[in-house]
Chain A
Amino acid sequence: AQSVTQLGSHVSVSEGALVLLRCNYSSSVPPYLFWYVQYPNQGLQLLLKYTTGATLVKGINGFEAEFKKSETSFHLTKPSAHMSDAAEYFCALENSGGSNYKLTFGKGTLLTVNP
């Protein structure tokens, strides 16, 4: 069975500091991996995704993530946090191939940015 584990349900950083949100996955087939962001009282919005090819993926709002197969990880980073980055972030996995489009989500990480 596939699964997604996000380490740390709550991460707090200072404005301008590095943001690192951790995601590890388990999958029996090559995965497609996603990061979504959820602002208060809103739906989820895609930040970035990895399917195939380049393992370093750049997304919106200055975020990027690196797929590391050997570590089964897909950590999300941003060099300098902004107050507007405060939100909940979800890592998700989809099995590649076939017509199964189901996403398996992690529990989420709430990012707080302090002034």
Chain B
Amino acid sequence: DAGVIQSPRHEVTEMGQEVTLRCKPISGHNSLFWYRQTMMRGLELLIYFNNNVPIDDSGMPEDRFSAKMPNASFSTLKIQPSEPRDSAVYFCASSLEGSEQFFGPGTRLTVL
């Protein structure tokens, strides 16, 4: 299995631009998680889906952030408009019924 796939691996954009991060979970997994990692705040859960349905989005920082999971094999995290304070590494993870979460390699986002 290829593991959790995230794209792009690096993204540099200017303040105000829309950013879309993509994630392909491991085939057969039914839970998907988006995390943000920064030096100041550590690893934070933004949102998680179970069977493609958002279960808890209480970690989404603002309305500028939105996430979708249109099917079992794809999810997006969108930031519109982006701000410099959104600069972080964003991880996607997937699991099967609450078992071990498998993390993707992350997307390093820099907003200038």
Contact = CB atoms under 8 A, between A and B. Distances in A.
Partners in one complex: yes
Interface of A: 36, 41-46, 49, 90, 94, 99-108
A94 B101 CA distance: 11
A49 B45 contact: no
Contacts of B31: 101
Contacts of A43: 4, 91, 93, 103-106
Contact of B50 (A42, A46, A94, A99): A99
Most buried by B among A43, A99, A101: A43
Contacts of A90: 43
Contacts of A99: 50, 55, 98
A101 B98 contact: yes
A44 B50 contact: no
A102 B45 contact: yes
A104 B42 CA distance: 11
Contacts of A36: 103
Given A102-B48, A103-B45, A105-B42, A45 B103 contact: yes
Contacts of A104: 45
B63 interface: no
Given A44-B103, A99-B50, A102-B48, A94 B98 contact: yes
Contacts of A94: 98
